[in-house]
Structure 1
Amino acid sequence: MQAIPISNIAVDVKGIPMRINVLQHTPNEGPGMIQDWSQKHGHEMYIYHPYQFGHLPKASDTDMLVILGGPMSPNDELEWIKQERVLIQELIAQDKPIFGVCYGAQQIVKTLGYQVTKAPAKEVGWAPVYRRDVKYLEIPEELRVLHWHEEMFEIPKEAQLLFSSDAVENQGFIMNHRMVGLQFHLEPKDDNVREMVVNDFPYIKGSVLNQTADDILKEKVSDDNRNTLYKLLDYINE
């Protein structure tokens, strides 16, 4: 197979294109509005499916890494999961921006040597999260977001707690102006939410949020979610 040419272009969110490599871990949890943000800035996005094909990008070919959610756990003993953490570690050492969602945020934490454990409550559906000690980001104090998880991450001591929910304290972190991890989902658009629900609706059972598939489908993604996502992506690329 002929190698895909890589542009050696500096990372800069202000008009200079980056190569954004995305690790997607299930067909129904794609980049959503992260892809919209990428296109808005003229970046090039490459989406990898390591759970299916086993391929990962090289750190040298990555200007920014996005690690999406999935049904697996960082605690699973799968070789490709371990190799993802090798890539994350290399990018941390190179001070490149990393954005993790749900399982992706857990993978960052696991790479840093902290724990991923069972959450005190399974959260599936729409519920608020509350901004913590990051007023400098000028993001809303409260957001109503989509949750789809039953594990949670420990907050690294080097990081700031970014968000909490009523049921789970550790909902987000920010670290070194280069990394953001979110336990919940800001990235889905309305069509993406429908895709998650129609394919993974059995997972809704047992959630502390007590919502049905229809309840989840009735709610629309807010502009605040998109704007907050964009601000976080801009921030780690400044």
Structure 2
Amino acid sequence: MRINVLQHTPSEGPGSIADWASAHGHELYIYHPYQFNGVLPTAAETDLLVILGGPMSPNDDLDWIENERQLIKQLLAQHKPIFGACYGAQQIAKTLGYGVLKAPHKEVGWAPVYRQATVVPGLPEQLTALHWHEEMFEVPREAQLLFTSDLVHNQGFVLGDNVIGLQFHLEPKALNVRTMVVNDGQYAMDHNDLHQTPETILKTAVPAANRAAIDAIFDFLTNTH
């Protein structure tokens, strides 16, 4: 299987998604459309699409952001698996015709999320996830709400058996967290409703349950559960 990853900032890589892909013998291709003139894969060469987070908004008027949505639209029509984290989940919702709005609270740091649907086998009732956002998606009417948090209700959705979007991050490993904090830690200091400093975020160990949840999500999306 060819897994095409759309990465949108150097500090937010695929993390444990790459580990899952390697364990299953899949090939990972990482694209950086924000950096390399909007280069994107085609739908024909995509077996699974991963859309990672980034500092941009789906509401930004940039050609490559619109082109990403055209790719998502094609893959949705072909019923291919898609996973979006943070900005990536917002892009999926926007492609489906729903809004990306200012969230009621800016969340930067570690905080619990609560499972709202049992359609994905192996997901626990609660996870401690890494949050790094101040916008949120509207949950598509055709999808199920998958997660909520204490501060932001719309934290995740699942559409059918092949699309999952999460407003938070389960994919970061320890190196990914360190990379996010040392490069973008100031983001946590500006009006952060989780009231966590970069030092606090760094001191929190990545929960082992997050890797297990990524495995469960990608097993579900690829029908290997």
- Could you state the TM-score of these two structures normalised by the residue count of structure 2? 0.97
2:32 to 29, 36, 49: 49
| Percent identical | 64
Where 2:14 maps in the other structure, the secondary structure is coil
Per the TM alignment, residue 190 of structure 1 is displaced from its structure 2 partner at its CA by 0.6
1:84 aligns with 2:68: yes
d(CA) in 2 for partners of 1:169 and 1:137?
22
The one-letter code of the counterpart of 1:81 is I
The one-letter code of the counterpart of 2:121 is L
1:86-141 alpha-carbon deviations (Å, 9 max, x no partner): 00000000000000000000000000000000000000000000000226523111
Match of 1:24 in 2: 7
1:224 to 209, 217, 221: 209
2:150 to 166, 182, 189: 166
Match of 2:118 in 1: 134
Match of 2:19 in 1: 36
Where 1:20 maps in the other structure, the secondary structure is strand
d(CA) in 2 for partners of 1:236 and 1:34?
12
1:193 to 148, 171, 177: 177
1:211 to 193, 196, 201: 196
- 5+ residue gaps in structure 1? 1-17
d(CA) in 1 for partners of 2:192 and 2:148?
17
Where 1:228 maps in the other structure, the secondary structure is helix
CA RMSD of aligned residues (A): 0.8
Match of 1:65 in 2: 49
1:161-200 alpha-carbon deviations (Å, 9 max, x no partner): 0000000000000011000000000000011100000000
The number of residue pairs the alignment matches comes to 221
The one-letter code of the counterpart of 2:203 is K
The one-letter code of the counterpart of 1:20 is I
d(CA) in 2 for partners of 1:230 and 1:67?
16
Match of 1:11 in 2: none
Where 2:35 maps in the other structure, the secondary structure is helix
Where 1:50 maps in the other structure, the secondary structure is coil
1:175 to 138, 150, 159: 159
Match of 1:15 in 2: none
- After TM superposition, the structure 1 stretch with the greater mean CA deviation from structure 2, 195-204 or 130-139, is 130-139
- Could you state the TM-score of these two structures normalised by the residue count of structure 1? 0.92
- After TM superposition, the structure 1 stretch with the greater mean CA deviation from structure 2, 55-64 or 203-212, is 203-212
Match of 1:143 in 2: 127
Q: Looking at CA atoms only, which structure, 1 or 2, has the larger radius of gyration?
A: 1
Where 1:195 maps in the other structure, the secondary structure is helix
1:97 aligns with 2:81: yes
- 5+ residue gaps in structure 2? none
Greater than 3 Å deviation, 4+ residue runs: none
The one-letter code of the counterpart of 2:113 is V
1:148-170 alpha-carbon deviations (Å, 9 max, x no partner): 00000000011010000000000
